[in-house]
Structure 1
Amino acid sequence: MGELKKLVEEGKIKYIGLSEASTDTIRRAHAVHPITAVQMEWSLWTREIEPDIIPLCRELGIGIVPYSPLGRGFFGGKAITESVPADSFLAIQPRLQGENFDKNKIFYHRMEKLAQEKHECTSSQLALAWILHQGDDVVPIPGTTKIKNLESNISSFKVKLNKNDLKEIEDAVPISEVSGDRTTGAFVQCSWKFANTPTKS
């Protein structure tokens, strides 16, 4: 952080952000130089950061950048519930494999039904709208390689939700019923839960 602070002071970079950082790391880094944003996985079925990371970011005035806001593509469209490409990174995701996948499909279908019947949008737009409604300090970064999906994602801003809508959406994807870890074992070891940096000697 000290070196990054120097780069800001020299005008070589403007801001400093963190990714998959623990609360301890965020506090310590922010004490050296203000952190502008923290990038963390956050979606309807990955919400572990809500009890600690989100409140801390808001306490310190740090922006929140959720990656994989569509649940690693799960809420992106019906195709993924029918077949996960074997050569795709998605194929190694625990929640999209075997028995876990079979159990989790119900969450997509619930979201699709809510989106179509109540909000006149797609499941992906509803999932993005949910996270956009978590606060003005939240800027999700859904990934796509297709223009039509980009345009669909932008249209999520048109979906307006009230408190009852948000609860209904959350009830459609109860975290306690989600089957499987959010990512594979190797990547879990790199997650914020194991990201405390050692103190400087």
Structure 2
Amino acid sequence: MRLRSLGNTGTKIGTIGLGCMGMSWLYQESSRDDRRSVRVINEALDLGGNLLDTADVYGAGHNETLLGKAVAGRREEAVIATKAGLVLEDLRLRAAHRDGSPAYLRKAVQASLRRLNLEVIDLYYVHRVDPTVPLAETWGTMAELVDQGLVRWLGLSEATVAQAREVHAIHPVTAVQSELSLWTRDALAGASGGMVGWCESVGASFIPFAPLGRGFLTGTLRAGQFESGDFRTANPRFDRAAMEANQRIVDGIREVADRRSVTPAQVAIAWTLAQGEQVVPIPGTKNPRYLRENLAAAEVHLSEEDFADLGALPAPVGSRY
């Protein structure tokens, strides 16, 4: 696996990481298989995909516990990222609220450390900014966790450039996580390259989640195949009419994939990698075959013609939430 830097930490990580959320909730939960997920996480480490991403809210802590079991005995090989700031109210309904208060964060980090069975978290994100708490207060508390040796580095998830700039002046932002894919390019929009450009300017990593468009960009999903409770059943882009319209995007990606003799998923991931050396996507999977396919995208090199064709893809139908 090729390597990229994790912000300005001096730590090297695999060019492609692993998002672990889907192993515990939101997608096809009837297929959850903890033993297989542990094997997938370990294979990711074997192949060099050592940035492993989770959050305390994923499955009401289940995902952190699963990851902790998977990396037992291999702690030094993994760079573990988790998040706090979304508090689950109802697991079945997935109702949650934001909490960036110092009291919550101090409790949350201790709970995550227990579930992960760690002494220190490598990368700790504010999962969502809480509008009821001054951001400087939230970030100041996060910085205290670093001073206390509970956390190594700090990140933001789904934040704005203005918010990132504000907190970076208080304590360095090591990484920003947000959605980026061939059908969600918001992070590239705006002055100086948007959030992706801001990360480059300060030496922070940009960590795209859902680089495969929650599976849609792989070309393997069809309307009506999702089980009740799958997050995508209520997502506007996965409405039957939207999926049919958005098939044009997949068709365009497949044309490039066929030209390169690779899969649409590999083209989608390779495109995100090409947005900058600071970009480290974390496609999620609980399938060993898809893991290997995803990580192999690090060796896919797109041409100018490919980029032109991908840049001309139609805008998606439906909002991302």
Do both share a fold (TM > 0.5)? Answer: yes
**Take 2:213 and 2:185, find their aligned partners in 1: how far apart are those partners?**
10
Residue segments in structure 1 that go unaligned for 5+ positions in a row: 184-201
Matches within 5 A, 1:134-153: 134-153=275-294
Which residue, 120, 130, 140 being the options, matches 2:271?
Answer: 130
Matches within 5 A, 1:1-201: 1-51=139-189, 52-78=194-220, 80-81=221-222, 83-87=224-228, 88-116=230-258, 118-171=259-312, 173-175=313-315, 178-183=316-321
Alpha-carbon RMSD across the aligned residues, in angstroms, is 1.5
**Take 1:180 and 1:85, find their aligned partners in 2: how far apart are those partners?**
18
State whether residues 175 and 205 of structure 2, in contact with CA within 8 Å, keep that contact through their aligned partners in structure 1: yes
Deviations 1:143-193 (A, max 9, x none): 10100000000111121113332122222x233xx211011xxxxxxxxxx
**Take 2:318 and 2:223, find their aligned partners in 1: how far apart are those partners?**
18
State whether residues 252 and 309 of structure 2, in contact with CA within 8 Å, keep that contact through their aligned partners in structure 1: no
- TM-score norm. by structure 1 comes to 0.83
Residue segments in structure 2 that go unaligned for 5+ positions in a row: 1-138
State whether residues 84 and 91 of structure 1, in contact with CA within 8 Å, keep that contact through their aligned partners in structure 2: no
State whether residues 256 and 306 of structure 2, in contact with CA within 8 Å, keep that contact through their aligned partners in structure 1: no
More strand by share: 2
How big is the shift at 1:96? 1.2
How big is the shift at 1:99? 1.9
- Partner amino acid, structure 1, of 2:199: C
- Partner amino acid, structure 1, of 2:232: L
State whether residues 226 and 232 of structure 2, in contact with CA within 8 Å, keep that contact through their aligned partners in structure 1: yes
How big is the shift at 1:81? 3.0
Question: Paired residues, what number?
Answer: 178
**Take 1:98 and 1:143, find their aligned partners in 2: how far apart are those partners?**
23
- Partner amino acid, structure 2, of 1:142: P
Percent of aligned pairs sharing the same letter: 35
How big is the shift at 1:98? 2.7
Specify the SS of the correspondent of 1:16: strand
State whether residues 84 and 96 of structure 1, in contact with CA within 8 Å, keep that contact through their aligned partners in structure 2: no
Specify the SS of the correspondent of 1:100: helix
Deviations 1:72-118 (A, max 9, x none): 1101233x0354313222222111103212211121122123212x1
**Take 1:91 and 1:82, find their aligned partners in 2: how far apart are those partners?**
9
**Take 1:124 and 1:132, find their aligned partners in 2: how far apart are those partners?**
13
More helix by share: 1
**Take 2:153 and 2:301, find their aligned partners in 1: how far apart are those partners?**
31
Stretch of structure 1 that moved more, 157-166 or 19-28: 157-166
**Take 2:222 and 2:296, find their aligned partners in 1: how far apart are those partners?**
23
Decide whether aligned partners of structure 1 residues 112 and 83 sit closer, same or farther in structure 2, where only a CA change above 3 A counts.
Answer: farther
**Take 1:63 and 1:92, find their aligned partners in 2: how far apart are those partners?**
31
